[in-house]
Structure 1
Amino acid sequence: MTPTQNPGRVVVVAGATGPAGRAVAHRLAASGTRVIAAARNPGDWDDELITPAAVDLLDAGATRAFADATAAAHGRVDGLIHLVGGWRGGKTFAATDLADWAVLHDLLIRTVQHTTLAFHAHLRAAPAGRFAIVSQLAAQHPTQGVAAYATAKAASEAWTLALADSYTGSDAAAAILVVRALLTDAMRRERPDAPFAGLTHVDDLAATIAGLWDRPAAELNGTRLDLSAP
């Protein structure tokens, strides 16, 4: 699906400096969207439609101030794409280190909470507000070695579904994009003979995200879109 050209659209990409964030930001900008690339250290971007924004998403006050300033500067916020990631795991349940849980709680849950609370009203006020997180199959089918990770992902999914419920009957929508794992061109170069079965390329993820605005809110809201290959 080719995303609709919309030069007036403003979308915040949280966690924009990773491979997925960069793919999503560039894909959205290619459709004419003004992208606010948010991260602690957003770096430099070579696209005039991508504006870096330094913000600590673990700071609730700073995140809310960032949301309000973004809406004031651009007159609207049409989307929030949460791509703040992190992974910790092991081999057995008994070997689970709760220090990993503390890290994952902040990265995968707290940043979702802060950003969605900060942008909630702005997305609802937009002509077609969209929110999306990237989750993983482990959230629904956890194995013993990823107890902390799977629990964090499941919690972020539950939070997103609660957000979706708050958007019922409006033109805003919140959705969960499910992958087995993400694939990049660098991974292919490093392991040219690996099959990477079931992995979702970051460019395919970006295409799906860019197409969220082409789907009616009532159809999209509260859904889990499985992007993992068979």
Structure 2
Amino acid sequence: MTGLRGRLVVVTGAGGALGVETSRRLLAAGARVAAVDHRAENLEASAAEFGADYLPFVVDLLDEPATLAWGHELAQDHGGVGGLLHLVGGWRGGKGIVDADLADWDFLHDNLIRTLQHTSRALHDSLRASSDARLAIISSTGVAKPTATNASYVAAKAASEAWTLAVADSFDGSHAAAVVLRVMALLTPQMRADKPNAKFSGFTPVEQVAGALLALWDEPADRVNGRIVDLTTS
């Protein structure tokens, strides 16, 4: 394995707490980060902190032609892409099967599924051609036990898992791997600061998730490709 040093890793949803922590660790490991968000202001603080190896990009990942053009240009300009950590999130609660607002499904479909489809298609060939690429998403433990009040959310997460496992199948025979990491919920530093006495039972700190993402490069691709990893038990 060649590790992360010198690799260009795409982090989508880079302006969120997990995106920031993951970018920080990638840079510390010697990688370069192509940080993607839909708003420039979400990337400004990290760009100021992280320096020249942190490359901020504002991309509307719901616009497939724009995403394809950006992804192809990125791979061409940098001699390929060595990873895609798709951290675009979104959550909506529900009120049961009949009373749920299906507008929530539209939001979740776009944020959790469509953005993944567009980015994975844009970067697929570069990832597959890489010597040791990884694609990963963060999913939910709720997929294993859906509830009526969480139907739209877990359905969208299940679909994103299925897409990722299909990408894993397309990586068969290459040195790339696609992996699903599951959490019940993320715990951010801001959440701890806001509620210092809360226990956050079952929550997974973003630091732990970021560490698990980087650890995907510690094993050969054929050992991790297509795996679903539950971080609540690790």
TM-score exceeds 0.5 = yes
CA RMSD of aligned residues (A): 1.5
Amino acid at match of 1:19: A
- Aligned partner of 2:24 in structure 1 is 26
- Aligned partner of 1:92 in structure 2 is 96
- Aligned partner of 2:231 in structure 1 is 227
For 1:169 and 1:41, the matched residues in 2 are separated by 37
Residue of structure 2 aligned with 1:114, choices 108, 111, 118: 118
- Aligned partner of 1:184 in structure 2 is 188
CA deviation profile, 1:12-51 (whole Å, cap 9, x unmatched) = 0011101111111111011110000001114311212211
For 1:132 and 1:91, the matched residues in 2 are separated by 30
Residue of structure 1 aligned with 2:5, choices 1, 4, 7: 7
- Aligned positions of 1:121-136 closer than 5 A: 121-136=125-140
- Aligned positions of 1:1-230 closer than 5 A: 6-42=4-40, 43-44=43-44, 45=47, 46-48=49-51, 49-229=53-233
CA deviation profile, 1:57-101 (whole Å, cap 9, x unmatched) = 001111111111111221120000101100011243322110000
Gapped regions of structure 1 (runs ≥ 5)? none
Shift of 1:149: 0.5
For 1:19 and 1:204, the matched residues in 2 are separated by 12
Count residues with an aligned counterpart. Answer: 228
CA deviation profile, 1:138-164 (whole Å, cap 9, x unmatched) = 122111111110100000000011100
For 2:76 and 2:95, the matched residues in 1 are separated by 48
For 1:71 and 1:144, the matched residues in 2 are separated by 42
For 1:94 and 1:191, the matched residues in 2 are separated by 34
* Displacement over 4 Å in runs of 4+: none
For 1:25 and 1:6, the matched residues in 2 are separated by 12
Q: Please give the secondary structure, in 2, of the residue aligned with 1:113.
A: helix
CA deviation profile, 1:169-206 (whole Å, cap 9, x unmatched) = 21000000000000011111211121111111001111
TM-score if structure 2 supplies the norm length?
A: 0.94
- With 153-162 and 208-217 compared, the bigger mean Cα shift is at 208-217
Gapped regions of structure 2 (runs ≥ 5)? none
Shift of 1:229: 4.1
Shift of 1:6: 3.7
TM-score if structure 1 supplies the norm length?
A: 0.95
> Closer, same or farther in 2 for the Cα pair 1:6/1:151, shift >3 Å?
closer
CA deviation profile, 1:86-125 (whole Å, cap 9, x unmatched) = 0011243322110000111000000010011111100011
Quick check: 2:4–2:217 contact (8 Å CA) kept in 1?
no
Shift of 1:5: 6.0
Q: Please give the secondary structure, in 2, of the residue aligned with 1:168.
A: coil
